[in-house]
Amino acid sequence: MPSKRAKIVGTGMCVPERVVTNDELAGMMDTTDEWIQQRTGIKERRWITPGQMPADLAGEASLAALERAGLGIEDIDFILLGTLSSQHEFPGTSFFLHERLSAGEIPCIDLRAQCSGFLYALNFADSLIQSGKCRRILVVGCEVHSTGIDPTTRGRDVAVIFGDGAGAVILEANEDDDDPAGILHVRLHAQGKHARRLWIEAPASGEWPCRISKEMIDEGRHFPKMEGKYVFKHAVTRMPEVLTEALAGASIKLDDVSLFLFHQANLRINEYVAGKLEIPDDRLFNNIERYGNCSAASIPMLLAEADREGLITSGHIISMTAFGSGFTWGSAVVRW
Ligand code: COA
């Protein structure tokens, strides 16, 4: 059987209604709206309200993507969900999404590649479709960071950048030989030697005799820790590198890309990367000022907004690039 190209046929997103401004954070910790905007570009983010679950956000995003594709959950063969903030330690988030979508017995898994999680998931989904094992796959990125951050001055470097949200796409085998739409190339990398530079130390199954103790909680070892400048330096080096590799793999010139979507970790990172590659402003789309860093959800949220705002139309070439904890990084090139 000839291999089939996988194309995106639906996008969707969901963020909680609760808006948390920089000024609201300044009431919880020693920070200012000016510091946050200047260093990160973020003006506000969304946080869940009591009772709202990651699978609720993922569910709304998935239903929106299915509707956009004109499909139902019964048309889907596999659910792949990228997250670093799983609803429960095990089995994760995808199973609760599965329950929420009444997905029958469709297989589902969580995939952990942090802020690069959506691109990693896209790559696996693309391979499953190309191999003929699946025809349609729901690929989701979903994060609830707000319940995991340290909302005090101790945790302010990380607390101000993260937000909650979910994004989803439907990937489908392109069976029309005359339709050039599809995933053209995905390039992924990881380097585990940097894992402790951006991580959550506990709970950890390697902690003996218990995954987490009261002392560890008192020390704040269950909160995310980041060596900000170290991460920044690696991000601005790796993102242009992998973006260029992916374009070369797809045989696409930088000038032929209609829209560049970068992981939304910090607007300054994205401006730096764009400057290095001489990408004009009108071919960049960011939404970090409204949602902060939603890790694995950032890129599918960008896709869903760009799709609805008419920034993406048939024939467009989209370049998507991410960098995150692990370290992981990757880039995908898609023809719409
Ligand atoms: N508000 C006010 N001051 C803050 C602050 C906050 N929210 N967070 C940190 N500071 C302070 C620091 O304590 C430090 O104070 P000091 O000079 O008295 O020691 C000062 O601001 C500078 O801190 P630093 O961490 O060096 O700032 P920075 O310029 O590196 O910016 C980040 C911090 C987090 C914005 C930046 O490092 C970054 O974006 N890193 C990469 C993030 C990323 O890509 N993450 C990966 C994806 S998940």
Q: How does pLDDT run across 20-71, given as a tens digit for each residue?
A: 999 999 999 999 999 999 999 999 999 999 999 999 999 999 999 999 999 9
- Using DSSP's 3-state secondary structure scheme, residue 299 falls into helix
Is residue 77 domain-resident? Answer: yes
Helix (H, G, I), strand (E, B) or coil at 137: strand
Q: Active site residue: 108, 115, 134, 142, which one?
A: 115
In terms of residue numbers, what domain contains 311?
182-195+227-335
Q: Where are the alpha helices (DSSP H) in the chain?
A: 22-26, 33-40, 54-69, 94-100, 117-130, 156-159, 214-218, 228-250, 267-277, 288-291, 298-308
Mean pLDDT of the chain: 97
The arithmetic mean of pLDDT across residues 186-198, rounded, is: 98
210 among known catalytic residues: no
The reply to whether 128 and 267 lie within a common domain is: no
Share of the chain above pLDDT 90, in %: 99
Q: What is the pLDDT, as a whole number, of residue 3?
A: 64
Residue 115's nearest CA partner among 317, 305, 312, 300 is 300
Q: Which residues make Cβ contacts (< 8 Å) with residue 317, sequence separation at least 6?
A: 184, 252, 256, 257, 258, 259, 333, 334, 335, 336
Whether residues 58 and 99 share a domain: the answer is: yes
> Could you identify the atom of ligand 1 that is nearest to the CA of residue 156?
7
Pocket of ligand 1 (CB under 6 A): 31, 35-36, 39-40, 115, 156-157, 160-161, 198, 226, 228-229, 231-232, 235, 265-266, 269, 293, 295, 324-325
Q: Per-residue pLDDT for 303 more than 70? A: yes
> Is 288 contained in some domain?
yes
In the annotation, is 123 catalytic?
Answer: no
Q: Which atom of ligand 1 is found nearest the CA of 160?
A: 7
- Position in ligand 1 atom list of the atom nearest CA 40: 35
245-260: per-residue pLDDT in tens? 999 999 999 999 999 9
The pLDDT of residue 4 is 80
Q: What is the pLDDT of residue 225?
A: 97
Based on the fold, state whether residues 163 and 191 are members of the same structural domain.
Answer: no
Q: Verify that 190 and 159 share a domain, yes or no.
A: no
Query: Does residue 219 lie within any of the structural domains?
Result: no
Residue 1 has pLDDT above 50, yes or no: no
Q: Is the pLDDT of residue 227 over 70?
A: yes
Shared domain for 139 and 11, answered yes or no, is yes
Question: Are residues 9 and 131 located together in one domain of the fold?
Answer: yes
pTM tops 0.85, yes or no: yes
In a domain, 321, yes or no: yes
